[in-house]
Structure 1
């Protein structure tokens, strides 16, 4: 993984505020750049000081309280996740662990933040032969062939995320036992929303929509970001 490095003095001049602390083993740091807040080097690890939202909740907890989200609300959140994926791709970064637990919702503003890049990697055009992330979100090509392409695997995760938002549950509980069949949807979901989920969860990676295609889908168009 890569870390972004910065001087300590700039962070100590910041006003007192709550932060998030992440500890990373030193042997996992392969590249240094610039870090927004502060870092501290220990003999066997690096401690990162990161932004922490004061009034936030991860989407898993948010969904547990709401059961499922109305389609319009889910669409707004999904659009923000797409924007995060577009930004990651522009930086040649692959998150590899897109799931509700790794998405924070600012309860005051409604803005989402993608967190925990611990499974991340630099985006490559060739296939990945090593899995990182949550197995129940792994695409079928990994389960069957032990390889996957980054963008196609991301779209698979986005399909599972959208399903979870509108249905209130994860479609596949155990990634090792994915048996594909017809997905059943309630009548309250529009056909357009169902179609997006089905395209994202195509068994064939090349048949899945890209992030840009999802952005231009009629179901997604016209949703303003907070």
Structure 2
């Protein structure tokens, strides 16, 4: 979005004023006035299989917003908002997780048209997705990486506590407010409801998929999330994806960690006492190099030590047998 800028230590959201999507009062799905009467459209921010996202300005108060347009024919899953309104699942999931939580992008309103679904989203005035934020710097120093990663963990923990699985966690879906240092999880277009049983359909970005999907064709929500988080953490501090393009994703991949990382308990990259999910995650004040290795060795089901047997198991195994990060 915005060009590279200095990350400052202050935290807290910069919310555009307007009608927020909350469980108590979701915005109407029908446009009351034309979008052109309410917003001035700006430059294209991104385009993909999901549709297009444009920068825009709200004419009533000059607040910066992002407008996401999704072709209606590409909306495969619908759900129901608290008031009974039928809406695309992406909007329903955002209604569950975004209201009042600074680590999730805020949905201000949405409109339903014959051919498109249009979402008006919060847009910090100076912002950049984490992918470009890292690329502009080569890699992130430990202090900056620690703070941003802690915020991402908070956002993931919040989503799972609300019963929502994002399924496409990657640097391109993490927005950094350059003025405040706030990280925000964006794009719930691949999201779904969190379940205890295995998923047998993949949604998201293949290069962030867990090995159990590659090898067995199924995955569990929480271990798959921690796998993608580990890749994000690696990209933050190493400046590159741990798997080369075209390389088969595997548990056997040896992690390369730069010598500049602080070793042992002296590392400034503990998670700040913030567990990923619940008190049993074990991710409390773990230095970065240990956290990366623990991610690599422990985020998949424990039974993967016997992979042939694991491949033959039916994917109905309870998540109680799945370790996020074992002590």
Query: Normalised by the size of structure 2, how large is the TM-score?
Result: 0.58
Aligned to 1:222: none
Decide which of 248, 252, 261 is 1:177's aligned counterpart: 248
- Residue correspondence of structure 1 range 154-173 to structure 2 within 5 A: 154-173=225-244
Deviation at 1:63, TM superposition (A): 0.7
Classify 1:136/1:147 alpha carbon distance in 2 versus 1 (closer, same or farther; 3 Å): same
The answer for unaligned runs of 5 or more in structure 1 is 218-226
Is the Cα–Cα contact under 8 Å of residues 98 and 158 in structure 1 kept in the other structure?
yes
Question: What RMSD, in angstroms, separates the aligned Cα atoms of the two structures?
Answer: 2.7
- 1:139 and 1:156 in contact (8 A); partners too: yes
- Give the match for residue 220 of structure 2: 149
What is the rounded CA distance, in whole Å, between the counterparts of 1:105 and 1:151 in structure 2? 24
Structure whose CA Rg is larger = 2
For 1:204 and 1:53, how far apart are their aligned partners in 2?
Answer: 33
Which runs of structure 2 are paired with 1:9-158 in the superposition (5 Å)? 15-26=61-72, 27-33=75-81, 36-158=107-229
1:193 is matched with which residue? Answer: 288
Are the equivalent residues in 2 in contact too, given 1:93–1:120 (CA < 8 A)?
A: yes
Helix, strand or coil at the partner of 1:119: coil
* Cα distance in 1 between the residues matched to 2:294 and 2:79: 36
CA contact (8 A) 2:139 2:238 kept: yes
CA displacement 1:113-132 (0-9 Å, x = unmatched):
10011111111110000011
1:91 Cα deviation after fit: 1.0
**SS of the counterpart of 1:177?**
coil
TM-score of the pair, normalised by structure 1: 0.83
Asked if structure 1 preserves the Cα contact closer than 8 Å seen for 2:134 and 2:140, the reply is yes
Tell me the distance in 2 between the aligned counterparts of 1:32 and 1:148: 26
Number of aligned residue pairs: 210
- Please report how far the alpha carbon of residue 74 of structure 1 lies from its aligned counterpart in structure 2 after TM superposition: 0.7
Q: 1:145 to 1:99 in 2, by over 3 A?
A: same
